[in-house]
């Protein structure tokens, strides 16, 4: 077991950043949102050719990526043992000899993300690590259970000790352009979260257009979301760079208008170290370095860590690595 790193306090946003209180719903702003899909795709597809990090810089960036991972298990067959194993990996995401060689001992992931019933085992397993526990909620992933039950689920998870709640929005409100309903739903969820931070999962793969992604992002932020998150990981299309660009620009615009920094979490589909670097570069470019911290950025990923571990071993030893050389989560 390792000691807390000095970056650990940053995991809890409230320590460093005034929390997004939300603002009244501004329908004119929502209506004024533009998103040119072709131009956004061009920017997204050329970014990896415009930004490159090599050698020690790459190793450092990959460590940064690890520090921002919400290590996740959201499976029907999750057990206490399975969650404990994942939490152990969260504390020691990379072999200690490699971290030592990199001068990065004490590095942990950003959080562990589980279903409600696994909150208590996760809290127990992470005791003393400073690693927060996030719970998916509100009838995840479809969000179609009765509204009062969705709110009650949040309250139960918070009572159980969850530090962060990942809620799912009602996609139908976006698809029907019912921004008032989306705003009110989000506000209710936010209120139910209390001190726990709330990540709004937009399920971007089901929203139909980048413009809808931008509008939903804006409405959720206006309603007080601490983070906006792309996907549940269960949609057929999850996090993509174009969607990310749209959401980052929405965050930038909201920050410019209100002064609140809202976090961003792409989830699902990011499994390669190389992809993680592009995401980090996009955040650095569009939002700035302040957002490259776990209090404002998370990767929702389960297999990404494995690839990063292999890349880091290659960096340290100069030899290509193999999966079985690293402890599974």
Partner 1 sequence: MNDGTMTVKEIFESMEYGPAPESAAEAYAWLVDQGDRFGHFIGGDFTAPGEGFQARNPASGEVLATLTQATAQDVDDAVVAARKAQLRWEGLGGPGRARYLYALARLVQKNARLFAVLETLDNGKPIRESRDIDIPLVHRHFYNHAGLAQLMDAERPTMRAHGVCGQVIPWNFPLLMLAWKVAPALAAGNTVVLKPAEWTSLTALLFADMCKQAGLPDGVLNIVTGDGAVGEMVVGHTDIDKVAFTGSTAVGRRIRELTAGQGKALTLELGGKSPYIVFDDADLDSAIEGLVDAIWFNGGQVCCAGSRLLVQEGISEDFHARLRERMGKLRVGNPLDKCIDVGAMVDPVQVARVREMLDRSEAGERFSPAVEMPEEGAYFPPTLITGLAPSDGLMQDEIFGPVLVSTTFRTPDEAVTLANNTRYGLAASVWSENLSLALGVAPRLEAGVIWVNGANMFDAAAPFGGVRESGFGREGGWAGLDAYLRPAAKPKRLNPVAGFTGSGAVEGMDRTPKHYIGGKQARPDGGYSRVVYGKSGTPLGQVPVANRKDVRNAVEAARAAAGWARTNGHGRAQILYYMAENLSARSDDFARLLNAMTGRRGGAAEVEASVDRLFTWAAWADKFAGEAVNVPIRGMALALREPVGVIGAFCPDEAPLLGLVSVLGAAMAMGNRAVLVASEPFPMAAMEFVQVLETSDVPAGVANVLVGPVADLAPHMAGHADIEAVWSFASANLSEVIERESAANLKRTWGTNGHARDWYDPTDCRAFLEAATEVKTVWVPYGE
Among 1, 54, 259, 324, binds partner 1 (CB under 8 A): 54
Q: Binding string to partner 1 for residues 135 to 174, with x set by CB under 8 A, is what?
A: ----------------------------------------
Q: Let me know if 117 is a catalytic residue.
A: no
Report the alpha-carbon distance of residue 210 to residue 35 in Å, rounded.
6
Binding to partner 1 by residue 40, rule CB under 8 A?
Answer: yes
Among 21, 28, 77, 289, binds partner 1 (CB under 8 A): 289
From 226, 265, 295, 307, active-site residue:
265
Report the alpha-carbon distance of residue 110 to residue 157 in Å, rounded.
19
- Which listed range, 50-58, 71-79, 120-128, 224-232, lies at the site for partner 1 (CB under 8 A)? 50-58
> Which region holds residue 55: left if phi is over 0, alpha if psi is between -120 and 50, else beta?
left
Cβ contacts of residue 17 below 8 Å, gap of 6+? 261, 295, 296
The values of phi and psi at residue 60, to 5°, are -65, -40
Residue whose CB is less far from partner 1, 151 or 250: 250
Q: Let me know if 289 is a catalytic residue.
A: no
Binding to partner 1 by residue 251, rule CB under 8 A?
Answer: no
Q: Is 33 exposed, middle or buried (0-12, 13-18, 19+ CB in 10 A)?
A: buried
Among 21, 50, 128, 324, binds partner 1 (CB under 8 A): 50
Q: In the chain, count of helices (H) and strands (E)?
A: 13, 8
Residue 114, strand partner residues: 135
CB of 54 to partner 1, least distance (A): 5
Are the C-beta atoms of 291 and 264 separated by less than 8 Å? Answer: yes
Residue whose CB is less far from partner 1, 12 or 248: 248
Of 308, 258, 251, 254, which is closest to residue 285 (Cα–Cα)? 251
Binding to partner 1 by residue 319, rule CB under 8 A?
Answer: no
Name the residue with tokens 């620009």. Answer: 249
Tokens of 290: 């302040």
CB of 130 to partner 1, least distance (A): 17
- Residue 83's Cα: distance from chain center in Å? 19
Residue whose CB is less far from partner 1, 43 or 197: 43
Binding to partner 1 by residue 49, rule CB under 8 A?
Answer: yes
Q: Let me know if 229 is a catalytic residue.
A: yes
Binding to partner 1 by residue 111, rule CB under 8 A?
Answer: no
| Residue 290, CA distances (Å) to 8, 142, 186, 278, 281 in order | 16, 32, 25, 17, 12
Among 1, 24, 55, 322, binds partner 1 (CB under 8 A): 55
Residues numbered 252 to 271 that lie near partner 1 (CB under 8 A) are none
List of residues contacting partner 1 (CB under 8 A):
34-40, 42-43, 46, 49-57, 59-61, 63-64, 67, 102-104, 209-211, 249, 280-281, 284-285, 289, 292, 315
Q: Which residues participate in catalysis according to the annotation?
A: 166, 229, 265
């Amino acid at each position: 077991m390792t000691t807390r790193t000095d970056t650990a306090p940053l995991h809890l946003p409230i320590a460093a950043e005034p929390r997004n209180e939300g603002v009244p719903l501004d329908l004119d702003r929502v209506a004024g949102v533009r998103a040119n899909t072709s131009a956004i795709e061009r920017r997204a597809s050329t970014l990896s050719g415009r930004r490159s990090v090599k050698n020690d810089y790459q190793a450092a960036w990959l460590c940064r990526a690890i520090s921002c991972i919400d290590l996740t298990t959201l499976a029907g067959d999750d057990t206490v043992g399975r969650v404990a194993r994942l939490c152990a990996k969260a504390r020691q995401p990379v072999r200690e000899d490699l971290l030592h060689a990199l001068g990065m001992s004490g590095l942990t992931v950003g959080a562990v993300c589980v279903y409600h019933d696994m909150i208590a085992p996760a809290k127990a397993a992470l005791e003393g690590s400073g690693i927060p526990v996030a719970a998916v909620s509100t009838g995840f992933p479809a969000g179609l259970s009765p509204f009062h039950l969705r709110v009650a689920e949040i309250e139960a998870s918070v009572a159980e000790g969850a530090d962060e709640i990942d809620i799912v929005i009602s996609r139908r409100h976006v698809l029907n352009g019912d921004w008032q309903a989306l705003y009110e739903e989000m506000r209710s969820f936010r209120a139910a979260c209390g001190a726990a931070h709330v990540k709004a999962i937009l399920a971007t793969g089901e929203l139909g257009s980048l413009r809808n992604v931008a509008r939903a992002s804006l409405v959720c932020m206006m309603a007080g979301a601490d983070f906006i998150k792309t996907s549940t990981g269960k949609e057929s299309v999850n996090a993509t760079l174009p969607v990310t660009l749209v959401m980052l620009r929405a965050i930038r615009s909201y920050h410019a208008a209100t002064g609140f920094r809202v976090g961003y979490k792409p989830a699902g589909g990011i499994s390669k170290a190389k992809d993680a670097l592009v995401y980090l570069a996009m955040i650095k470019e569009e939002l700035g370095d302040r957002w490259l911290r776990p209090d404002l950025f998370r990767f929702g990923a389960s297999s990404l860590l494995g690839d990063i571990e292999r890349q880091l071993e290659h960096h340290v030893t100069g030899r290509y690595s193999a999966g079985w050389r690293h402890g599974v989560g």
